[in-house]
């Protein structure tokens, strides 16, 4: 009865381990399990290396994104800001004052341009002579005010005086070029240029004492108009000018003289990095 009941049971009989020794695992499975363990360890190492490499690449990319890439059109001169420079942020009130100053400068510049357009519509070299006579005045005014400040012991910036003198020296040779081209042939042109320069000097002195920022911007407006005038003239008469020789004053200044002062006012360039071509067809590269 017991045997029949046991044979009818669906559960398999548990083998006895007391009489027979324990069976060893099949040898065929040992290399596979060892290979699997070695592969898991190798994959873990590779994964760790990949994670480390990905982290390094991500760190490098984040570093590159935080750095600003600056494309330089020409080598620049590294200068430190003045010790007494005001680094306070521009407030809304100061911004309103700046806009007012620039609006006044633009109005004055456009008024002068209208007068010159009416007087020198077809007389280009006479107009250039007047422009170059006026263009020297701001630097004389700046130097005068800076000398006065230094004499009274209020402020001393020799580097400003040096740069403005170099700028006035450059404008002086521009004036010599226009005189050689016949811009001062008429007495009325010489009188008008010097009369305007006389009043322009005292106006610039007062403006520079009141607000150097405004005075510098006004000088910038005048220089911008001068360059625009020369550029238009070259585009209209470029072919004719190519046939003419360069003025003797330009040859002496740019080729025969020491360009130490010329390099001095190139404040955004490395010294000796700018050398204008000499010729009547390249006035914009010579005169600014």
pLDDT along the chain (288 residues), means of 10: 42 44 46 47 50 52 42 40 48 79 94 91 91 92 94 85 87 91 93 94 96 93 88 86 83 70 56 54 49
Distance between CA 203 and CA 108 in Å, rounded?
12
CA-based torsion, 246, 252, 258, 260: positive or negative: negative
Q: What is the pTM of this model?
A: 0.60
Q: What is the pLDDT of residue 189?
A: 94
Q: Is residue 261 part of a domain?
A: yes
Q: Is residue 265 part of a domain?
A: yes
Residue 40 in tokens: 């898991």
Q: Is residue 178 part of a domain?
A: yes
Q: What is the pLDDT of residue 69?
A: 36
Q: What is the pLDDT of residue 263?
A: 58
Q: Is residue 136 part of a domain?
A: yes
Q: What is the 3-state secondary structure (H, E, C) of 63-76?
A: HHHHCCCCCCCCCC
Distance between CA 131 and CA 124 in Å, rounded?
10
Q: Is residue 176 part of a domain?
A: yes
| Nearest of 245, 241, 261, 244 to residue 253 by alpha carbon | 261
Q: What is the pLDDT of residue 205?
A: 96
- Contact, 134 vs 174, CB < 8 A? no
Instruction: Give the count of domains, the chain.
Output: 1
Q: Is residue 232 part of a domain?
A: yes
Query: What range defines the domain where residue 200 resides?
Result: 93-286
Q: What residues contact residue 173 under an 8 Å CB cut-off, 6+ apart? A: 249, 250, 253
Q: What is the pLDDT of residue 147?
A: 93
- Contact, 250 vs 282, CB < 8 A? no
Half-sphere exposure of 16 toward its Cβ, with a 13 Å CA cutoff?
3
Q: Is residue 48 part of a domain?
A: no
CA-based torsion, 237, 239, 240, 245: positive or negative: positive
Q: What is the pLDDT of residue 261?
A: 60
Q: What is the pLDDT of residue 82?
A: 47
Q: What is the pLDDT of residue 272?
A: 54
Q: How many CB atoms sit inside 10 A of residue 79's CB? A: 9
Distance between CA 221 and CA 110 in Å, rounded?
9
Q: Is residue 56 part of a domain?
A: no
Indicate which CATH number applies to the domain containing 270: 1.20.1260.140
Q: What residues contact residue 180 under an 8 Å CB cut-off, 6+ apart? A: 247, 248, 249
């Amino acid at each position: 009865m017991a045997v029949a009941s046991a044979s009818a049971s669906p559960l398999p009989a548990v083998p006895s381990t007391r009489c027979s020794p324990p069976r060893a695992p099949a040898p065929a499975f040992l290399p596979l399990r060892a290979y699997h363990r070695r592969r898991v360890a190798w994959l873990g190492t590779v994964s760790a290396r990949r994670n480390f490499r990905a982290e390094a690449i991500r760190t490098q990319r984040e570093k590159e994104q935080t750095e600003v890439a600056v494309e330089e059109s020409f080598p620049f001169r590294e200068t430190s800001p003045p010790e007494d420079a005001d680094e306070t942020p521009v407030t809304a009130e100061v911004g309103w004052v700046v806009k007012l100053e620039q609006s006044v400068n633009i109005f004055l510049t456009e008024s002068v341009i209208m007068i010159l357009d009416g007087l020198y519509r077809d007389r280009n070299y006479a107009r250039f002579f007047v422009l170059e006579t006026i263009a020297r005045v701001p630097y004389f005014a700046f130097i005068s005010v800076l000398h006065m400040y230094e004499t009274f012991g209020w402020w001393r910036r020799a580097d400003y005086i040096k740069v403005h003198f170099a700028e006035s020296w450059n404008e002086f040779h521009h004036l010599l070029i226009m005189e050689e081209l016949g811009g001062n042939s008429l007495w009325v042109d010489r009188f008008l240029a010097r009369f305007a320069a006389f009043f322009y000097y005292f106006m610039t002195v007062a403006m520079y004492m009141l607000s150097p920022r405004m005075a510098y911007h006004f000088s910038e407006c005048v220089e911008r108009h001068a360059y625009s005038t020369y550029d238009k003239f070259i585009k209209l008469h470029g072919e004719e000018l190519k046939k003419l020789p360069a003025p003797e004053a330009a040859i002496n200044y740019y080729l025969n003289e020491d360009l130490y002062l010329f390099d001095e006012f190139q404040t955004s360039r490395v010294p000796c990095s700018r050398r204008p071509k000499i010729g009547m067809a390249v006035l914009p590269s010579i005169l600014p």
